[in-house]
Structure 1
Amino acid sequence: MLPESKPLQLPQFVDERRVSPFQYGVIILCGLVMFLDGFDTQAISYMAPYIAQEWSLSKPMLGPIFSSSLAGLMVGYLVLTPLSERFGHKKAIIVSTIVFSLCTLASVWATNVTELMVLRFITGIGLGTAAPSAIAMTGEYSPKRLRATFVLAIYCGFSLGFIAAGLAAGWFIPHYGWRSMFWVGALAPLMLVPVLFRFLPESMVFMIKNKVPPQQILSVFRKIDASVGQQSKPVFVVEALEQGQHGALASLFTRDRIMGTVLLWLVFAINLGEFYALQSWLPSIMTGLNYPMSTVVMATTLTTVGGIAAAFITGPSMDRLGAYKTVGILYLVGFVFVALTGMAFNSPLWVLLSANFLAGCCISGGQKSLIALAAVFYPAPMRSTGVGWALGIGRIGGIAGPIVVGAALGIGWSPSAVFYGMAIPMLIAGLLVLFLGRRYGNSNKV
């Protein structure tokens, strides 16, 4: 006779135990999804010059190809991500991975801009749906004391995908042509899909909420902690579900959360605006100042490397010293380093490269840290929706940032003045995050 059930509570069950090999496996799989997401997102940038040459396109004609993918990302973030709360994060990750894999594969046979735009739009939808669910799964299977570190770790996978795309392009395109990048970008995630089917578990919160057979849920708990015994009638409690039964999207705007949601969106918009402005205009600015291409590439790469390096500091700091305090201070320091970059244009090269690296730590690293902060701010039942909508709304800033910088340069601002101007939003973002910490830092149930 099996013993009577003792309630198993989330997130306490995960928070109170050491991280098991099973949980590390979940995090690694989510990191691989993010890596392939980043690879596919960046690969088109390296293919673009060759596409333009083969199809006799002017540079402005490449813009719609890039924009179609970004538009698809926004649709994925805003429209489809909430569906993962209804159908399950595992299903969302697998289906979206299949979608962006097949659309990438179909792009091999695209013959004109219209076909490629449609395929890139659908690819973007898949990419935009996979990332928030991967982040939500990582957050759910991570103990609170390590949640920010693990979310930052898998988002570094996204940045590593950017780097891998550049390395792969340098080898495959000269030898096999630009279409070879689509083959790589499609076949790698398709190979991952069977592994996800076999080893990626479903969200425990989703299973409890949707009344999956208790023994099936219990088997996941036992993979986390083998000392949990068999129970005749296991009982599960999810703290966040006990606080209300709003839908995931409606829960973002409850009376006690609406201010935090709106301010978080504003910080996302600021950070994405800074990120895309830096990535879009730094190469052009440095080229205009007569730096050699090797130096331009090094400076731009250092901003990405800085973001990855920052994660090794900000992740543990968020878990130990507090998420809001760490991210707020990171942005305040970023205010200084972005302004320092403006000053460094008239300084020795090593000063400029150091400033680029430090600015990247705060802007690119800030973006990763901000996603981890969103995973802390929103409880598990609404985490993928909260992160997805923050990323989606933040895209408005990502679109506006390069436009504003371009307009400033167009009316005669110097590169130094542009970076002085870019420093001010970093200050605002830092103050907003510190305010969020005072308002919500001690009240979130995650």
Structure 2
Amino acid sequence: MSQPPLRLHLPEFIDQRRVTAYQYGIVALCGFVMFIDGFDTQAISYMAPHIAKEWGLSQTVLGQIFSAGLVGLMVGYLALSPLSDRFGHKRVIIAATAVFGAATLAAVWAGNLTELVTLRFVTGMGLGAAAPSAVALTGEFSPRRLRATFVLVIYCGFSVGFIAAGLAAGWLIPGHGWRSMFWAGAAAPVLLIPFLVRGLPESPVFMIQRNMDPHRIYAIFRRMDPALPAALTDQIPPVFGVAENESGMRTALSSLFTRKLLPGTVLLWLVFMINLAEFYALQSWLPSIMTNLGYPMSVVVTATTLTTVGGIAAAFVTGPSMDRLGAYATLGVLYLVGFVFVALTGAAFHAPLWVLLTADFLAGCCISGGQKSLIALAAVFYPAPIRSTGVGWALGVGRVGGIIGPIVVGAALAMKWSPSVVFYAMSVPMLAAALTVLLLGLRYGRRADRSSQPDGTADQATPPLAQDSSPAVGPTSAV
């Protein structure tokens, strides 16, 4: 009697096993990609005054440098992240890392505004292409019971990059000039690329769907479970299976707009726009508001840094809570609490300093921490075949909010609104975000939560957003 073939099906294979050092290594590499993203995004803010002084630029013109990177990010999120559906996450991450590393290095020799703006745009495109694929690959190698936590962990790399940029700027710029920050920003991706090539696997879902070499696919499965047989046998090849999105053969982009996913996609985009509007309004205007209120620069820097640190601290709570108690309920409650703390920050501007700093930290927990948690929610919401595109487009559309938020706050301050009233007004969108997330949970949360049991074993029912609509297929038809 012949031995039955070995059946290896995703995502159940990962959901039913312990996380291995191999998977932790993948998460760490993706976290380093996000770290470089955060470093580069924030570094230009510290270089800008020195660039303006050397080149004789006005503050208005400096805005073009900031905007070029943000526009490039949006293009990367919207136009380049879907390329992972065609070429694979690993290739996109490595290529994008090489692009923004090369563009950052070229910026060392930029001699005028046009050259620098162009290079910042290209850098932004590379960063925008790498981040969604890093999130998607992390989600794919994470068991559902830990997926939100792992995505939050790698996105903390982005915030750590923010902090590292400030430390590096304080050390490098005074002694070596503003171009030294570009040298540092270029060296990091160049040094990281060999580790990505060697240590980062290709998406097994992508490989199965593209009928790639079964030996390469099996090697990835065995790295996650060494108890599997040491090698494939030609007589009894394994049967690989993967949960397909319900749209079948649709492209990843069009899959976002199917009848079942369209309401969730639109609501997610709305929350992304609200959260990014709050984030960039806070980061852009808090230093200026506090400076105008007479606080010394040391206090201004401390308060601004605390908002970022708060986002990192929040991840240690929201990640496990999203995995254990539900992603939608956790994020909805976080935004409800944020509604209170953002308003409290407005009331604390004329309170004792410790009250203001505490309020800044707690507001950062909900705004910066909410942004990280929202990306984790998107990684849970979208199935693996369209996860990179789903996250990328959510981030790209959300940038609209990131652009509008600081403009609206600036207009309010120009109309002589007090800082307290501005923050009272900023608290209202947090309430809207909370209600939207809770509405998402009512529509999608209950069935998705039944996809895994509390002990981490997969249920018999497949989650509705990653429904296995076709039987597992063997190497002759799918591998």
Q: TM-score, normalization: structure 1?
A: 0.98
Q: Which amino acid aligns with 2:391?
A: V
Q: 1:160 — aligned with what?
A: 160
- Alignment of 1:422 onto 2:426: yes
Q: Deviations over 1:250-290 (max 9, x none)?
A: 11000001000000000000000000000111111111111
- Taking a change above 3 Å as real, the CA distance of residues 242 and 407 of structure 1, as seen in their structure-2 partners, is closer
Q: Which residue of 2 aligns with 1:258?
A: 262
Question: Does residue 238 of structure 1 match 2:238?
Answer: no
* Matching of residues 308-387 of structure 1 within 5 Å: 308-387=312-391
Cα deviation for residue 239 of structure 1 reads 1.4
- State the identity %: 70
Q: Which residue of 1 aligns with 2:276?
A: 272
SS in 2 for 1:9: strand
1:134 corresponds to: 134
Distance 1:395 1:366, change over 3 A: same
Alpha-carbon offset, residue 146 of structure 1 = 0.5
Aligned to 1:282: 286
Q: Provide the C-alpha distance between the structure 2 equivalents of 1:241 and 1:235, rounded to a whole number of angstroms.
A: 19
Alpha-carbon separation, structure 1, partners of 2:170 and 2:289: 24
What SS does the corresponding residue of 1:441 show, helix, strand or coil? helix
1:196 counterpart residue number: 196
Partner of 1:39: 39
Does the 8 A contact of 1:5 with 1:231 survive in 2? no
Equivalent runs, 1:61-80 vs 2, <5 Å: 61-80=61-80
What is the deviation of 1:376?
0.3
Q: How does 1:45-194 map to 2 (within 5 A)?
A: 45-194=45-194
Structure 1's 242 and 290: CA in aligned 2 closer, same or farther, altered over 3 A?
A: closer
Displacement of 1:245: 2.1
Give the conservation status (yes or no) of the 8 Å contact 2:108–2:182.
yes
Matched-pair contact (CA < 8 Å) for 2:309–2:364 = yes
C-alpha contact 1:277 1:401 (8 A) present in aligned 2: yes
The farther-off stretch of 167-176 and 87-96 is: 167-176
2:276 aligned partner, one-letter code:
L
Contact 2:310–2:361, Cα closer than 8 Å, also in 1: yes
Q: Give the Cα–Cα distance (whole angstroms) in 1 for the partners of residues 29 and 2 of structure 2.
A: 34
CA deviations on 1:130-175 (whole Å, 9 max, x unpaired) are: 0000000000000000000000000000000011111111111111
User: Counterpart amino acid of 1:15?
Assistant: D
Asked whether the 8 Å contact 1:40–1:165 carries over to 2, the reply is: yes
Q: Secondary structure at the match of 1:397?
A: helix
1:4 Cα deviation (Å)?
4.4
User: 2:247–2:255: 8 Å Cα contact kept in structure 1?
Assistant: no
- Structure 1 CA distance for aligned equivalents of residues 369 and 144 of structure 2: 20
1: CA distance between counterparts of 2:228 and 2:246?
Answer: 23
Deviation for aligned residue 1:409: 1.1
Q: State the Cα distance separating 1:411 from its structure 2 match.
A: 1.2
Structure 1 residue 215 displacement after superposition: 1.5
- 5+ long unaligned stretches in structure 1: none
Q: Any conservation in 2 of the 1:3–1:231 contact (CA below 8 Å)?
A: no
Structure 2 distance, partners of 1:243, 1:204, is 20
Partner Cα separation in structure 2 for residue 407 and residue 42 of structure 1: 24
**Which deviations, in whole Å up to 9, do the C-alpha atoms of 1:362-417 show, x marking residues without a partner?**
00000000000000000000000000000000000000001111111111211111
Letter in structure 1 aligned against 2:343? A
Q: Give the superposition deviation at 1:5.
A: 2.1
Contact 1:302-1:356 at 8 Å conserved across structures: yes
In structure 2, what is the equivalent of residue 29 of structure 1?
A: 29
Q: 1:7 offset after TM fit, Å?
A: 1.8
Inter-partner Cα distance in structure 1 for 2:37 and 2:238: 37
Give distance in 2, aligned partners of 1:241 and 1:407.
44
Which residue number in structure 2 is paired with residue 437 of structure 1?
441
Pick which of 232-241 and 418-427 moved more: 232-241
Task: Report the Cα offset of residue 242 of structure 1.
Answer: 6.9
Shift in CA distance, 2/98, structure 1 to aligned 2, threshold 3 Å = farther
Using the TM superposition, give the Cα deviation of residue 243 of structure 1 relative to its aligned residue in structure 2, in angstroms: 6.2
1:227 partner SS: coil
Aligned length: 446
Q: Deviations over 1:410-436 (max 9, x none)?
A: 112111111110011000100100110
Stretches of structure 2 lacking an aligned partner (at least 5 in a row):
449-462, 467-479
Q: Alpha-carbon deviation of 1:2?
A: 10
Q: What CA distance in whole angstroms lies between the structure 2 residues aligned with 1:242 and 1:386?
A: 14
Q: Distance in 2 between matches of 1:443 and 1:78?
A: 29
Structure 1 residue corresponding to 2:299, chosen from 295, 299, 302: 295
- 1:20 is matched with which residue? 20
Runs of 4+ in 1 over 6 A off after TM superposition: none
Separation in structure 2 between the aligned mates of residue 242 and residue 376 of structure 1, nearest angstrom: 16
Aligned pair in 2 of structure 1 residues 258, 197: CA closer, same or farther (>3 Å)?
A: same
- Closer/same/farther in 2, CA of residues 184 and 3 from structure 1, 3 Å limit: farther
* Structure 1 pair 14–243 and aligned structure 2 pair: CA distance change class (3 A): farther
Cα distance change on mapping 1:75 and 1:333 into 2, 3 Å: same
2:393 alignment counterpart? 389
2-structure distance, mates of 1:277, 1:11: 39
Letter aligned with residue 87 of structure 2? F
Check the 8 A contact 1:68/1:117 in 2, yes or no: yes
CA distance in 1, matches of 2:422, 2:396: 26
SS at match of 2:46: helix
What amino acid maps onto 1:248 in structure 2? A
- For residue 155 of structure 1, what is the amino acid of its counterpart? Y
Normalising by structure 2, report the TM-score: 0.92
Are 2:335 and 2:433, in contact at CA under 8 Å, matched by a contact in 1?
yes
Q: Is the 8 A contact 2:287 2:300 kept in 1?
A: yes
More divergent stretch after superposition (408-417 vs 63-72): 408-417
Question: 1:200 & 1:43 partners in 2: Cα distance?
Answer: 27
Q: CA contact under 8 A between 1:215 and 1:234: conserved in structure 2?
A: no
Distance 1:2 1:174, change over 3 A: farther
Q: CA RMSD in A?
A: 1.3
